[in-house]
Amino acid sequence: MKKLYTLSILLVLIVSSALLLAPSGGRTGTYSGSPGDNGTNCSNCHSGTPANVMNVITSNIPAAGYDPGVTYTLTISITHPTNNTFGFQITAEDSNDSKVGGFGAPNTSVQVVNGGNAVTHTNSGNSGTSNARTWTVDWTAPSAGTGDITFYVACLASSGSNTNNQVSLSSKTVSEDVATAPINLMVNVTDESCPGECDGEINASATGGAGAPFSFTISGGQNTNLCPGQYTVTAFDSDNNSTQQTVTVGAGEPVDTPSIILDFDRVVANSANATSYRWFVNGNLIPGADSSWVFVSQNGYYQAIALSSTGCEAPSDSLHFTSFSVGGHHLDTDKIFPNPGNKQINWSTGVKHVRLYNLHGQIIVERSGHNIQHLEIPENITPGRYILERINDENESVKKPWEKL
């Protein structure tokens, strides 16, 4: 019976020693204290009440967050007033408490366990220096869209005999660096109208980035009444991300003062560098008239305003128009009919020569004779406006508009 007791005591000592020595080489199984590990930690095997400790985990993950697939270094640091034997286990979980990322062991003081989901210390990595211990581990970030990640660690500070233990729990949450769409800044610039006016304008709009509301600043402080020069436009999105664009307000382009003349039934303006015109009759704007000529529509004072490419204006003198006729004789009052017409033009006073012009001044039909009082119109003449000129025996000439149906 004495031998049996001795064997039983020996077995107890062997098992107890194995339990004491196992944590010194790290622990497989889930002991990080994380939600995914059901809160299991060092206190499940070692005496000591767990305490939450701040700043145990540090890393080189940027403040903006981790990038998918990039490997980062995590550092675990623990101290104790008297103990100099240490151990730990760390894991990483997403917001659903699922294991994420992949761990690596960069040195012999740590080892990867639990199928790559955790790291713990080794036999050569449990001794402290001056009652402190630091470990470094590698962690490779998961795929894009994983979101926030929390690292959980459970640390043990022991006297080496499983007495006076201190169990510390800590966590650190990092965000995923989600790239913000670029801000698309669109700037519309209106150049100065005329030299010295300083009436340029800048209008900006934006899309993309973190979205509306957008705000804008312009060097110089305003977007209107701008003199020629370069300006920097800055756009800010709702997260205060910004982008810039440098634009130029161009100098005003002067425009030559136009001259105007009467050409058949049109008033024609000429300005060497005008890009468009505005027309007035008796001081009233003629709607839609923006070319270099306008049809005479009534008696009165005709005036053109020439416009440069930047909107600089130059007015012409006024042309006083009182009649379609250019002579001063009885042909002036002689009506032509039918007007509009189709096959023939008639009038009362006989003439010796008659011509029909198009609006480009080209002769379309011409007839000479004695006491001519009508003109036959060829069928191939296209409908539109024409000018009829009649010359009498005294070589007096009159031109009047006629329209073919």
Q: Which tens digit of pLDDT belongs to each residue from 75-101?
A: 999 999 999 999 999 999 999 999 999
Q: How confident is the model at residue 277 (pLDDT cuts 50, 70, 90)?
A: very high
Q: What is the pLDDT of residue 4?
A: 41
- At 323 the pLDDT is 58
pLDDT score of 326: 41
The pTM of the full predicted model, rounded to 2 decimals, is 0.47
Please indicate whether residue 266 or residue 37 has the higher confidence score (pLDDT).
37
Q: Which residues contact 14 (CB under 8 A, 6 or more apart)?
A: none
Other Cβ atoms less than 10 A from the Cβ of 36: the count is: 19
Q: Which residues neighbour 28 within 8 Å (Cβ) at sequence distance 6 or greater? A: 113, 114, 120
Alpha carbon distance 51, 78 (integer Å) = 13
Residue 15 is inside which H or E element, if any? Answer: helix 2-21
Question: Which of the two residues, 317 and 17, has the higher pLDDT score?
Answer: 317
Give the residue from 369, 365, 375, 376 showing the smallest Cα distance to 392. Answer: 369
Determine the pLDDT at residue 45.
77
Tell me the pairing of strands 215-218 and 229-236: antiparallel
Topology agreement, domain 2-174 and domain 330-404: yes
Average pLDDT over residues 109-113: 97
Higher per-residue pLDDT: 118 or 8: 118
Q: Return the percentage of the chain with pLDDT > 90, whole number.
A: 65
Q: How far apart are CA 181 and CA 238, in angstroms?
A: 12
Model pLDDT for residues 324-363, shown as the tens digit of each residue: 444 444 566 788 888 888 999 999 889 999 999 887 778 9
pLDDT at 138 over 90: yes
The per-residue pLDDT for 22 is 38
pLDDT in tens, 141-186: 999 999 999 999 999 998 877 678 899 999 999 999 987 789 999 9
3-state secondary structure of 188: strand
| pLDDT for the residue 205 | 96
pLDDT computed for residue 175 by the predictor: 95
Helix (H) or strand (E) segment spanning residue 16: helix 2-21
Percent of residues, the chain, with pLDDT higher than 70: 90
In this prediction, residue 289 carries a pLDDT of 86
Other CB atoms within a 10 A radius of the CB of residue 58 amount to 14
10 Å Cβ neighbour count for 337?
13
The CA distance from 66 to 297, in Å, is 75
pLDDT at position 31 is: 93
Fold of the domain spanning 330-404: Immunoglobulin-like (2.60.40)
Q: Which CATH superfamily is domain 2-174 in?
A: Immunoglobulins (2.60.40.10)
* Number of neighbouring beta carbons within 10 Å of residue 264: 22
DSSP state of 25: G
> CA-to-CA distance for 175 and 163, rounded, in angstroms?
39
List the single range of 24-28, 209-213, 268-272 with lowest mean pLDDT.
24-28
CA dihedral 78, 81, 87, 89 (to 10 degrees): -40
| Cα gap 207→238, rounded to integer Å | 11
List, in order, residues 6 or more apart from 188 with CB less than 8 Å away: 202, 203, 204
Q: Read off the tokens for 65.
A: 């967050």
Domain-wise residue ranges, the chain:
2-174, 183-249, 259-321, 330-404
**Window from 26-35, 36-45, 223-232, 321-330 with minimum mean pLDDT:** 321-330
